[in-house]
Structure 1
Amino acid sequence: MNVEEDIQLLAQEIRRLGTPRPDGSVSVKFGVLFTDDRCANLFEALVGTLRAAKKRKLLKFDGELLLQGVHDDVDVILL
């Protein structure tokens, strides 16, 4: 798979697991994404896919790199 396909799949998974916000975006906690079985099977490098999507301004989250455990409560927002 290429990066663009992974980003599209990630957006679908965020919509599936996340909560819609009043501004039309969707928010999900990083820990929810990271521990979801379906996401674990889809993404070999979830953190890399998150960073690529953020670089393309499709996602927003605090920090540059999210780590399991430390950043489980960080909101990942699909714009």
Structure 2
Amino acid sequence: MNVSHEIDLLVQEIQRLGSKNADGKFSVKFGVLFNDDRCANIFEALVGTLKAAKKKKVIDFQGELLLQGVHDNVDVILLQE
């Protein structure tokens, strides 16, 4: 799969699983994304896709890397729809 296609899919999943925050942007907890069955089937490397999307400024989250368990409560915020 190419990266931009995976990022497009990620945007759709954040919109599906997340809700709008106070700034009007979609936001979802990393743990919700990571533990979702549909996301598990779509993304071979969710963390890699998140990192690529952050680099392209499509999403934002605190830190460099998100790890399951440790970062389950970190918000993944959609910057572009």
**Both proteins in one fold, TM over 0.5:** yes
Shift of 1:24: 2.8
Q: RMSD of the alignment, in Å?
A: 0.7
TM-score, reference length from structure 2: 0.94
**Partner secondary structure for residue 77 of structure 1:** strand
Partner of 2:8: 8
Q: Hey, what does 2:76 align to over in structure 1?
A: 76
Which residue does 1:34 correspond to in 2?
A: 34
Residue in 1 aligned with 2:61?
61
* 1:17-45 per-position Cα deviation (integer Å, ceiling 9, x unaligned): 00112433100000000000000000000
CA distance in 2, matches of 1:64, 1:38: 24
Number of corresponding residues: 79
- Give the TM-score of the pair, scaled to structure 1: 0.97
Aligned to 1:25: 25
